[in-house]
Homo-oligomer: A and B are copies of this chain.
Amino acid sequence: METEILKDAGVPGTAEPASGQLEITAVLHALSDPVRLQIVAKLSDGSEHTCGSIELPVTKSTCTHHFRVLREAGVIHQRQEGTSRFNSLRRPDLEARFPGLLDTVLRAAGGS
């Protein structure tokens, strides 16, 4: 959690770790928050979502915070379009590095 090497993505504030550098502890920590788990579940169908298009029990600032944690852990990708920032799951990268992890976590979270 201390040494985070983020790959620049052109658009400021969207840097994310390269697929080969995802850390399991960072990913697990990112997924260990109920709000973030809710976000990931929403994105799990492959859809893109903005901060505002997901109903969450937190304010805008907190939402920004959670999306940043997910991005810096390498769980999601952020794409800027106008004033909107579209978030999507980095499913292929996660699957390549931690096979089956995302699905098992989502299944575990879904059947709560």
Interface residues of A, Cβ cutoff 8 Å to B: 24-26, 28-29, 31-34, 37, 97-101, 104-105, 107-109, 112
Contacts and interface: CB of A to CB of B under 8 A. Distances in A.
A61 to B, nearest CB: 21
A34 B3 CA distance: 14
Task: State the main secondary structure of chain A at its contact with B.
Answer: helix
Copies of this chain, how many?
A: 2
Given A32-B32, A104-B99, A109 B37 contact: no
A105 B63 CA distance: 27
A105 B28 contact: yes
Nearest to A29: B32
A22 to B, nearest CB: 9
